[in-house]
Structure 1
Amino acid sequence: MENLGYHFMLPAVVIYFVLACALLGLVFLPEPRAWVASRLGLLAGATRAAVRQSTSRWQRGCDHTSRQAAAAASAGVSWMRRRWPLWSAAVALLLIPPTVVYLLRDRHQPEGYVDLADNPTLVGQLLEGEQLVAPPALPPEVFTTAEVQQSRPLLSSADRKWELLDHDFRQRLLMAFKIMKEQHGYDMALLEGYRSPERQAMLQNMGTHVTHAGPYQSYHQFGLAADCAFYRNGKLVISERDPWAMRGYELYGEVAASLGLTWGGAWKMRDLGHVELRRPGVKPRNQ
């Protein structure tokens, strides 16, 4: 290890000695100092000449480019003066179509097309044009089967009178039933519409697995909510474990949203058959 360090140290000492001698020679001997100064002067002169030559070439290139641009601009102006009818007609052809579309954009909509985003109340206006009628009531025994009682214990005593629902909400819900039947092949059934404050309190006392809402904390008390399910082969299908019913709930949520209704299936505690119309001025305390 000592011999290895010696081999590395010797070259470093030699290099240091040479550099020190060269520096002392430049400081104390005029001849080496003059020789180095002359070489540095020659190098600086060559550098300045190269810079001047490059600058001169760049300036000549810029002057040439400027002259070409000026000539092209002059030729263009001259051509436009001689051919003004031609380019004026071309500009007009380009501008006329978008101008016409812009001016007539609100006056020429395809027949039957409506933009709901531009008019939030349009759904209500459309529904007012066709007053839908509630379907016939289902037999009472449909709501008392073992399957129904297991999923909805107190459903037999629920209120299913369509006339107790808010008029606007009733029309939207009936439209949802109509679309589900005609477009998707699902028959819908109203399980519960209006709910009294007393019944709401009774359901709340059964536990949070039934409802979190107390009296006047649900849109049911204002006739603005409904619980619905599917009717197939003479029976109610409520359970989401049925793939056919689950697909129906998904479609029902899409249809309800298109009609301005809020679907309970999108909530953290999902209520797949529930829809409600949230109206300004009606705000349950837990909403």
Structure 2
Amino acid sequence: MTRRANDRAARTRSQIVKSATATRGALSGVQNLLVRRRLMIMVSAGILATPPLVAIALRGRQLFQYDDTARVPDEKIAALLQGEQLVPPPPLPPEVFATKEVEQVRPALKDASRDWNLLDPDFRTRLLLVYKIMHEQYGYEMALLEGYRSPERQNRLAQMGTNVTNAAAFQSYHQFGLATDNAFLRDGKLVISEKDPWAMRGYQLYGQVAEQVGLTWGGRWKMMDLGHVEYHKPGFKLGRGS
């Protein structure tokens, strides 16, 4: 009787030991699984965090030096033109430029050249694109006041005072067909003065559009020339423009 009880107790202890061993094995497996999952989470988090960390570390320092102003305007022009050949607008009657109102704002304008063919071809294309955008997107009809300017005319204008120009002959992009003065046409009349709110808004839009196609706008100068744009053609050097 006692022996049978001892055998039963031994079997019970053996089962308890096996059960405990199995339980420890299961717990160990679960623990290993949790560790592996934790490592995977940490690795994944590290991978996801790497780009922002790199961006933060490189903030204020560029990996690539990309001259946006040099390339983008040409790409924009090509995309906007889509093979279209822009044509200059018909010439306005001479009397449009000879009114008293125009003479007060722009002296000697009636003698100015408005021949589009005397402008640099690349500059002409960019300026015509400005005209197109101003008309189609903003409803402003642009008018060319003056394009190419001879050295003699440049000197004559310089003698009229700095309120007209502060550049003598060959100190202006006008002498090279790389600058124009422009204004707006409303109801068949030139609108030049920025005192007209409609014209002032037009000049702001005109300056933005001109800069987007790679032109320099005179509205940003200390002595503002709101209607003036010029093209700083790559490879061409000039002391200062007017």
Q: Same-fold call, TM > 0.5?
A: yes
Q: Which residue of 2 aligns with 1:276?
A: 230
Deviation of residue 167 (structure 1)? Answer: 1.1
Secondary structure of the corresponding residue to residue 204 of structure 1: helix
Q: Return the match for 1:122 from 58, 72, 75.
A: 75
Q: Percent identity?
A: 57
**Bigger RCO of structures 1 and 2 (CA < 8 A, at least 6 apart):** 2
Residue identity matched to 1:283: K
TM-score by length of structure 1 reads 0.60
1:157 to 111, 117, 124: 111
Distance 1:280 1:141, change over 3 A: same
Secondary structure of the corresponding residue to residue 179 of structure 1: helix
User: Residues 215 and 117 from structure 1, CA distance in 2 versus in 1: closer, same or farther, beyond 3 angstroms?
Assistant: closer
> Are positions 1:131 and 2:85 aligned together?
yes
| TM-score (normalizing by structure 2) | 0.71
Give the alignment of 1:111-260 within 5 angstroms. 119-120=71-72, 121-126=74-79, 127=81, 129-260=83-214
2:182 and 2:227 in contact (8 A); partners too? yes
- Give a deviation string over 1:66-108, Cα, whole Å, max 9, x none: xxxxxxxxx9996454785898699779969x99xxxxxxxxx
The 3-state SS of whatever aligns with 1:141 is helix
Deviates more, 1:82-91 or 1:234-243: 82-91
Partner of 1:104: none
CA-based RMSD: 3.2
Aligned-partner Cα distance in 2 for 1:76–1:140: 98
* Matched AA of 2:181: D
Name the SS for the 2:117 alignment partner: helix
Map 1:65-104; keep pairs closer than 5 Å. 79=31, 81=33
Deviation (angstroms), 1:225: 0.7
Q: Contact 1:124–1:168 (CA<8 Å) still a contact in 2?
A: no
Larger helix percent: 1
**C-alpha contact 2:215 2:232 (8 A) present in aligned 1:** yes
CA distance in 1 between partners of 2:47 and 2:146 (Å): 60
Q: Distance in 2 between matches of 1:159 and 1:77?
A: 91
How far apart are residue 206 of structure 1 and its match?
1.1
Counterpart of 1:63 in structure 2 is none
Uncovered stretches (5+) of structure 2, i.e. residues with no partner: 1-26, 52-66
Residues 78 and 118 of structure 1, relative CA distance in 2, 3 Å threshold: farther
Report the CA distance between 1:117 and its aligned residue: 5.7
Take 1:117 and 1:224, find their aligned partners in 2: how far apart are those partners? 18
The gaps in structure 1 that reach 5 residues or longer are 1-74, 100-114
Q: 1:147 to 1:82 in 2, by over 3 A?
A: closer
